[in-house]
Amino acid sequence: MKVILTKDVDALGENGDVLDVKLGYFLNFLAPKLMAVRATQGAMQDREKRLEKIRKQAERKFQDDTAKAEKVSAISPVNVEAYAGETGKLFGTITTKELSKIILDKTGLTVERKQINTNEAINRVGQFQAYVKFSSKVTAEFAVVVSALKEDA
């Protein structure tokens, strides 16, 4: 079934794209969330009228996301201290929620924890890579350096 996306959908397409999707996917996911409409003749004509506006919005969003990504990349490396055992294993894990708070403190940007990804669990002392996905085209990368917290004797 042919549909026109009304919002950007990860791993599917961007606002204004005309795609072929399965009927169930459209009825159960895209349509209830107002992410797509059926590609009828009237909808296609409306899409053509909106295309320039969609392009301008996409360009503006890309520029905003790029600026945010540069701010986040500039804070690299992020130093985090946590309690650890003698082997270097932390007594817990550095979560994406904590990384989100660090980004907010250092840059003033509000980043949801769902936008942050680490390739591995940050549960030991060392250096790790973290990624913030602002959109399908813009991702920021920053280093997280975890060191053991010194206890006062």
- Structural domains of the chain in order of their starting residue, each with its CATH number: 2-66 (3.40.5.10), 71-148 (3.10.430.100)
pLDDT digits (tens, 9 = 90+) for 53-109: 888 988 999 999 999 999 989 987 889 998 888 888 988 899 999 999 999 999 888
The pTM of the full predicted model, rounded to 2 decimals, is 0.74
d(CA 3, CA 44): 10
DSSP helix/strand/coil, 114: helix
Q: Is the pLDDT of residue 145 over 60?
A: yes
Start-to-end Cα distance in the chain: 69
Contact 13, 19 (CB under 8 A): yes
Using CA atoms, how far residue 9 sits from 73, 112, 114, 119, 148, in Å, is 25, 17, 15, 23, 41
Distant-in-sequence, close-in-space partners of 80: CB < 8 Å, separation ≥ 6: 94, 98, 102, 122, 144, 145, 146, 147
Q: Is the pLDDT of residue 135 over 60?
A: yes
Q: Is the pLDDT of residue 152 over 60?
A: no
